[in-house]
Protein backbone atom coordinates (compact mmCIF):
# COMPACT_ATOMS: atom_id res chain seq x y z
CA UNK A 1 0.00 0.00 0.00
CA UNK A 2 1.29 3.41 -0.86
CA UNK A 3 0.27 6.79 0.41
CA UNK A 4 0.86 10.35 -0.61
CA UNK A 5 2.58 12.64 1.83
CA UNK A 6 2.42 16.41 1.53
CA UNK A 7 5.45 17.62 3.50
CA UNK A 8 5.02 21.36 3.04
CA UNK A 9 6.85 23.63 5.50
CA UNK A 10 5.28 26.93 6.42
CA UNK A 11 7.40 30.02 5.95
CA UNK A 12 9.51 31.40 8.77
CA UNK A 13 7.88 34.55 10.08
CA UNK A 14 10.62 36.05 12.23
CA UNK A 15 9.94 39.55 11.00
CA UNK A 16 7.54 41.98 12.63
CA UNK A 17 3.99 42.28 11.36
CA UNK A 18 2.53 45.70 11.69
CA UNK A 19 -1.04 44.45 12.00
CA UNK A 20 -0.40 42.22 15.01
CA UNK A 21 -0.14 44.98 17.58
CA UNK A 22 2.31 42.99 19.69
CA UNK A 23 5.63 44.35 20.91
CA UNK A 24 8.26 41.67 20.54
CA UNK A 25 10.58 43.67 18.37
CA UNK A 26 14.29 43.80 18.97
CA UNK A 27 16.51 46.73 19.83
CA UNK A 28 17.18 48.84 16.78
CA UNK A 29 20.73 49.78 15.87
CA UNK A 30 20.39 53.29 17.29
CA UNK A 31 20.21 51.82 20.82
CA UNK A 32 23.72 50.42 20.55
CA UNK A 33 25.17 53.67 21.91
CA UNK A 34 22.67 53.66 24.79
CA UNK A 35 23.65 50.09 25.71
CA UNK A 36 27.36 50.92 25.54
CA UNK A 37 26.98 54.00 27.75
CA UNK A 38 24.69 52.24 30.23
CA UNK A 39 26.98 49.22 30.59
CA UNK A 40 30.08 51.40 31.00
CA UNK A 41 28.47 53.60 33.66
CA UNK A 42 27.21 50.62 35.63
CA UNK A 43 30.51 48.74 35.50
CA UNK A 44 32.27 51.81 36.89
CA UNK A 45 29.68 52.13 39.64
CA UNK A 46 29.86 48.43 40.56
CA UNK A 47 33.62 48.78 40.97
CA UNK A 48 33.22 51.89 43.15
CA UNK A 49 30.48 50.37 45.29
CA UNK A 50 32.23 47.03 45.74
CA UNK A 51 35.51 48.77 46.67
CA UNK A 52 33.95 50.99 49.34
CA UNK A 53 31.73 48.18 50.56
CA UNK A 54 34.86 46.06 51.10
CA UNK A 55 36.86 48.96 52.54
CA UNK A 56 34.29 49.94 55.17
CA UNK A 57 32.99 46.40 55.65
CA UNK A 58 29.43 47.27 54.55
CA UNK A 59 27.28 44.33 53.52
CA UNK A 60 24.57 46.72 52.33
CA UNK A 61 26.94 48.22 49.77
CA UNK A 62 28.28 44.81 48.76
CA UNK A 63 24.74 43.47 48.31
CA UNK A 64 23.77 46.50 46.26
CA UNK A 65 26.96 46.09 44.21
CA UNK A 66 25.83 42.56 43.44
CA UNK A 67 22.45 43.92 42.48
CA UNK A 68 24.02 46.46 40.15
CA UNK A 69 26.21 43.73 38.69
CA UNK A 70 22.99 42.01 37.71
CA UNK A 71 22.04 45.24 35.95
CA UNK A 72 25.21 45.04 33.88
CA UNK A 73 24.42 41.43 33.02
CA UNK A 74 20.85 42.39 32.17
CA UNK A 75 21.99 45.15 29.84
CA UNK A 76 24.54 42.83 28.21
CA UNK A 77 21.83 40.20 27.70
CA UNK A 78 19.43 42.73 26.21
CA UNK A 79 22.13 44.05 23.90
CA UNK A 80 23.29 40.55 23.04
CA UNK A 81 19.73 39.53 22.25
CA UNK A 82 19.38 42.50 19.92
CA UNK A 83 22.60 41.60 18.14
CA UNK A 84 22.25 37.80 18.12
CA UNK A 85 19.12 37.85 16.01
CA UNK A 86 21.08 39.65 13.29
CA UNK A 87 23.60 36.84 12.92
CA UNK A 88 22.95 34.92 9.74
CA UNK A 89 22.32 31.16 10.18
CA UNK A 90 24.65 28.83 8.30
CA UNK A 91 24.88 25.15 7.41
CA UNK A 92 26.35 24.29 10.81
CA UNK A 93 24.08 26.58 12.86
CA UNK A 94 20.79 26.48 11.03
CA UNK A 95 18.92 28.45 13.72
CA UNK A 96 21.71 30.98 14.13
CA UNK A 97 22.81 31.99 17.65
CA UNK A 98 19.47 32.91 19.20
CA UNK A 99 19.83 30.40 22.05
CA UNK A 100 22.87 32.26 23.35
CA UNK A 101 20.49 34.61 25.16
CA UNK A 102 18.94 31.67 27.05
CA UNK A 103 22.35 30.33 28.07
CA UNK A 104 23.45 33.78 29.22
CA UNK A 105 20.27 34.24 31.25
CA UNK A 106 20.74 30.86 32.93
CA UNK A 107 24.39 31.57 33.78
CA UNK A 108 23.50 35.02 35.08
CA UNK A 109 20.73 33.63 37.29
CA UNK A 110 22.93 30.84 38.66
CA UNK A 111 25.77 33.20 39.56
CA UNK A 112 23.41 35.67 41.21
CA UNK A 113 21.76 32.95 43.29
CA UNK A 114 25.15 31.79 44.57
CA UNK A 115 26.44 35.33 45.21
CA UNK A 116 23.32 36.53 47.02
CA UNK A 117 23.12 33.31 49.02
CA UNK A 118 26.69 33.90 50.20
CA UNK A 119 25.92 37.48 51.19
CA UNK A 120 22.80 36.43 53.05
CA UNK A 121 24.78 33.79 54.93
CA UNK A 122 27.40 36.37 55.92
CA UNK A 123 24.74 38.86 57.04
CA UNK A 124 23.02 36.27 59.21
CA UNK A 125 26.39 35.33 60.67
CA UNK A 126 27.08 38.94 61.63
CA UNK A 127 23.69 39.35 63.23
CA UNK A 128 24.11 36.13 65.20
CA UNK A 129 27.60 37.05 66.40
CA UNK A 130 26.76 40.67 67.08
CA UNK A 131 29.53 41.89 64.74
CA UNK A 132 27.62 44.79 63.23
CA UNK A 133 30.03 47.65 63.87
CA UNK A 134 29.91 50.20 61.05
CA UNK A 135 32.84 52.38 62.10
CA UNK A 136 30.98 55.60 61.29
CA UNK A 137 30.37 54.51 57.71
CA UNK A 138 26.91 56.06 57.34
CA UNK A 139 28.13 59.02 55.27
CA UNK A 140 30.12 56.76 52.93
CA UNK A 141 27.10 54.51 52.38
CA UNK A 142 24.91 57.51 51.60
CA UNK A 143 27.39 59.06 49.15
CA UNK A 144 28.15 55.85 47.27
CA UNK A 145 24.49 54.79 47.04
CA UNK A 146 23.60 58.35 46.03
CA UNK A 147 25.96 57.99 43.08
CA UNK A 148 24.06 54.81 42.26
CA UNK A 149 20.77 56.70 42.15
CA UNK A 150 22.23 59.14 39.63
CA UNK A 151 23.78 56.44 37.43
CA UNK A 152 20.74 54.15 37.49
CA UNK A 153 18.39 57.04 36.72
CA UNK A 154 20.62 58.28 33.89
CA UNK A 155 20.80 54.78 32.41
CA UNK A 156 17.03 54.36 32.64
CA UNK A 157 16.55 57.63 30.77
CA UNK A 158 18.68 56.29 27.91
CA UNK A 159 15.99 53.67 27.25
CA UNK A 160 12.87 55.71 28.04
CA UNK A 161 12.10 56.41 24.39
CA UNK A 162 12.06 52.69 23.55
CA UNK A 163 8.91 51.90 25.52
CA UNK A 164 7.21 50.20 22.57
CA UNK A 165 9.95 47.54 22.43
CA UNK A 166 9.68 44.93 25.20
CA UNK A 167 13.43 44.36 25.19
CA UNK A 168 14.17 48.06 25.67
CA UNK A 169 11.27 48.51 28.08
CA UNK A 170 12.67 45.73 30.26
CA UNK A 171 16.04 47.49 30.41
CA UNK A 172 14.32 50.75 31.37
CA UNK A 173 12.20 49.21 34.13
CA UNK A 174 15.16 47.27 35.53
CA UNK A 175 17.31 50.38 35.85
CA UNK A 176 14.47 52.50 37.24
CA UNK A 177 13.77 49.89 39.92
CA UNK A 178 17.45 49.77 40.85
CA UNK A 179 17.46 53.53 41.38
CA UNK A 180 14.83 52.89 44.04
CA UNK A 181 16.95 50.13 45.61
CA UNK A 182 19.91 52.51 45.84
CA UNK A 183 17.57 55.04 47.46
CA UNK A 184 16.80 52.40 50.09
CA UNK A 185 20.51 52.04 50.84
CA UNK A 186 20.76 55.82 51.25
CA UNK A 187 17.93 55.71 53.78
CA UNK A 188 19.72 52.91 55.66
CA UNK A 189 22.89 54.96 55.79
CA UNK A 190 21.01 58.02 57.04
CA UNK A 191 19.30 56.06 59.82
CA UNK A 192 22.59 54.48 60.81
CA UNK A 193 24.23 57.90 61.06
CA UNK A 194 21.28 59.56 62.79
CA UNK A 195 19.96 56.85 65.10
CA UNK A 196 23.08 54.76 65.58
CA UNK A 197 21.34 51.59 64.40
CA UNK A 198 24.46 49.59 63.59
CA UNK A 199 22.37 46.45 63.04
CA UNK A 200 20.68 48.06 60.04
CA UNK A 201 23.52 47.34 57.59
CA UNK A 202 23.23 43.51 57.63
CA UNK A 203 19.44 43.78 57.80
CA UNK A 204 19.35 45.96 54.68
CA UNK A 205 21.75 43.58 52.94
CA UNK A 206 19.37 40.71 53.77
CA UNK A 207 16.40 42.62 52.37
CA UNK A 208 18.27 43.48 49.16
CA UNK A 209 19.44 39.87 48.80
CA UNK A 210 15.87 38.64 49.36
CA UNK A 211 14.53 40.94 46.62
CA UNK A 212 17.23 39.80 44.18
CA UNK A 213 16.75 36.12 45.05
CA UNK A 214 12.98 36.44 44.57
CA UNK A 215 13.38 37.94 41.11
CA UNK A 216 16.32 35.75 40.12
CA UNK A 217 14.62 32.48 41.06
CA UNK A 218 11.97 33.10 38.43
CA UNK A 219 14.66 33.85 35.84
CA UNK A 220 16.53 30.70 36.84
CA UNK A 221 13.48 28.44 36.51
CA UNK A 222 12.37 29.99 33.24
CA UNK A 223 15.81 29.85 31.61
CA UNK A 224 16.34 26.25 32.75
CA UNK A 225 12.90 25.35 31.39
CA UNK A 226 13.76 26.97 28.06
CA UNK A 227 17.17 25.26 27.89
CA UNK A 228 15.35 21.93 27.86
CA UNK A 229 13.03 23.09 25.07
CA UNK A 230 10.09 23.64 27.39
CA UNK A 231 7.04 25.45 26.10
CA UNK A 232 7.44 29.18 26.87
CA UNK A 233 5.23 30.47 29.68
CA UNK A 234 3.48 32.84 27.28
CA UNK A 235 2.09 29.93 25.23
CA UNK A 236 -0.70 27.54 26.23
CA UNK A 237 0.02 24.31 24.29
CA UNK A 238 -3.57 23.09 24.67
CA UNK A 239 -4.83 26.35 23.16
CA UNK A 240 -2.34 25.99 20.29
CA UNK A 241 -3.55 22.46 19.56
CA UNK A 242 -7.17 23.61 19.71
CA UNK A 243 -6.44 26.43 17.28
CA UNK A 244 -4.74 24.12 14.78
CA UNK A 245 -7.50 21.52 15.05
CA UNK A 246 -10.04 24.23 14.39
CA UNK A 247 -8.52 25.22 11.05
CA UNK A 248 -10.66 24.47 7.97
CA UNK A 249 -10.36 20.87 6.71
CA UNK A 250 -7.93 19.82 9.48
CA UNK A 251 -9.09 16.54 11.04
CA UNK A 252 -6.18 15.78 13.35
CA UNK A 253 -3.03 17.31 14.85
CA UNK A 254 -0.10 15.25 16.10
CA UNK A 255 3.63 15.59 16.80
CA UNK A 256 3.09 19.13 18.03
CA UNK A 257 6.19 20.84 19.45
CA UNK A 258 6.59 24.40 20.76
CA UNK A 259 9.88 25.72 22.08
CA UNK A 260 11.93 28.90 22.43
CA UNK A 261 14.63 29.55 19.84
CA UNK A 262 15.85 32.40 22.05
CA UNK A 263 14.51 34.62 24.79
CA UNK A 264 12.26 36.46 22.34
CA UNK A 265 11.48 34.02 19.51
CA UNK A 266 9.20 30.98 19.59
CA UNK A 267 9.17 28.08 17.13
CA UNK A 268 6.52 25.46 16.37
CA UNK A 269 6.36 22.26 14.37
CA UNK A 270 3.27 20.08 13.89
CA UNK A 271 1.70 17.49 11.62
CA UNK A 272 -1.74 18.40 10.31
CA UNK A 273 -3.97 15.70 8.81
CA UNK A 274 -6.12 17.21 6.05
CA UNK A 275 -7.68 16.37 2.69
CA UNK A 276 -7.68 19.93 1.41
CA UNK A 277 -6.25 20.70 -2.00
CA UNK A 278 -5.72 24.38 -1.18
CA UNK A 279 -2.62 23.87 0.94
CA UNK A 280 -1.36 27.41 0.43
CA UNK A 281 -4.49 28.92 1.99
CA UNK A 282 -4.33 26.51 4.95
CA UNK A 283 -0.67 27.23 5.65
CA UNK A 284 -1.19 30.97 5.36
CA UNK A 285 -4.12 30.95 7.77
CA UNK A 286 -2.23 28.77 10.26
CA UNK A 287 0.76 31.10 10.21
CA UNK A 288 -1.35 34.21 10.69
CA UNK A 289 -3.39 32.71 13.54
CA UNK A 290 -0.32 31.44 15.39
CA UNK A 291 1.38 34.79 15.02
CA UNK A 292 -1.63 36.82 16.09
CA UNK A 293 -2.66 34.74 19.11
CA UNK A 294 0.66 33.37 20.39
CA UNK A 295 3.45 35.48 18.85
CA UNK A 296 4.83 32.32 17.21
CA UNK A 297 6.79 33.39 14.15
CA UNK A 298 8.91 30.38 13.18
CA UNK A 299 6.30 27.88 12.01
CA UNK A 300 6.91 24.56 10.23
CA UNK A 301 3.86 22.46 9.39
CA UNK A 302 3.72 19.06 7.75
CA UNK A 303 0.47 18.37 5.91
CA UNK A 304 -0.59 14.74 5.65
CA UNK A 305 -3.42 12.98 3.86
CA UNK A 306 -5.82 11.03 6.09
CA UNK A 307 -4.34 7.76 4.81
CA UNK A 308 -0.77 8.74 5.60
CA UNK A 309 -1.78 10.34 8.88
CA UNK A 310 -2.74 6.89 10.20
CA UNK A 311 0.72 5.41 9.55
CA UNK A 312 2.92 8.47 10.14
CA UNK A 313 6.13 7.31 11.77
CA UNK A 314 5.93 10.08 14.37
CA UNK A 315 2.58 9.02 15.76
CA UNK A 316 2.95 7.40 19.21
CA UNK A 317 3.82 3.71 18.82
CA UNK A 318 3.69 3.89 15.01
CA UNK A 319 6.41 2.99 12.55
CA UNK A 320 6.00 4.14 8.98
CA UNK A 321 5.89 1.24 6.57
CA UNK A 322 5.22 0.91 2.87
CA UNK A 323 3.94 -2.20 1.18
Domain end residue (candidates: 208, 227, 246): 227
Please write the tens of the pLDDT for every residue from 289-308: 999 999 998 999 999 999 88
33 plus 85 within the same structural domain? yes
This prediction's pTM: 0.69
In which band, very low, low, confident or very high, does the pLDDT at 34 lie, cut at 50, 70 and 90?
confident
Asked whether residue 29 carries a pLDDT value surpassing 80, the answer given is: no
Quote the mean pLDDT of the chain. Answer: 78
Domain end residue (candidates: 227, 259, 293): 227
- If you average pLDDT over residues 176-191, what whole number do you get? 76
Q: Residue ranges of the alpha helices (H) in the chain? A: 32-55, 59-84, 100-129, 138-158, 166-195, 200-227, 237-245, 279-294, 306-309
78 plus 114 within the same structural domain? yes
Asked whether 297 and 26 are in contact (CB, 8 A), the reply is no
Which of 87-101, 193-207, 213-227 is the least confident region?
A: 193-207
- Per DSSP, 150 falls in state H
Q: At what angle do helices 32-55 and 138-158 cross, to 10 degrees?
A: 170
Domain end residue (candidates: 176, 211, 227): 227
Number of domains in the chain: 2
| CATH classification of the domain holding 314 | 3.30.70.1350
Q: Is 76 left (phi over 0), alpha (psi -120 to 50) or beta?
A: alpha
Q: At what angle do helices 32-55 and 59-84 cross, to 10 degrees?
A: 160
By the 10 Å C-beta count (0-12 exposed, 13-18 middle, 19+ buried), 158 is classed as buried
Please write the tens of the pLDDT for every residue from 108-136: 778 778 777 877 887 788 778 765 555 45
Q: What angle do CA 105, 107, 109 make, to 5 degrees?
A: 65
Asked whether 97 and 190 are in contact (CB, 8 A), the reply is no
143 plus 267 within the same structural domain? no
- CB neighbours (10 Å) of residue 118? 13
User: Strand 298-304 relative to strand 250-260: parallel, antiparallel, unpaired?
Assistant: unpaired
291 plus 243 within the same structural domain? yes
181 plus 37 within the same structural domain? yes
Asked whether residue 193 carries a pLDDT value surpassing 50, the answer given is: yes
150 plus 64 within the same structural domain? yes
Domain containing 109 equals 29-227
Amino acid sequence: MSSTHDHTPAHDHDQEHSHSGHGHSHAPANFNKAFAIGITLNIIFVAIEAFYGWRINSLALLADAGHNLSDVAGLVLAWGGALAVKLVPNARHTYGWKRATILAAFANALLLLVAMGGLAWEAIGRLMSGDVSLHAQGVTIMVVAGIGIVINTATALLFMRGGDDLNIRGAFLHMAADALVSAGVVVAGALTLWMGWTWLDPVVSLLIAAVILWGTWGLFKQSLHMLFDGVPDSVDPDAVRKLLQGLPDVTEVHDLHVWAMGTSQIALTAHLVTDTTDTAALLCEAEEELHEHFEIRHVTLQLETPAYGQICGLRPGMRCQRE
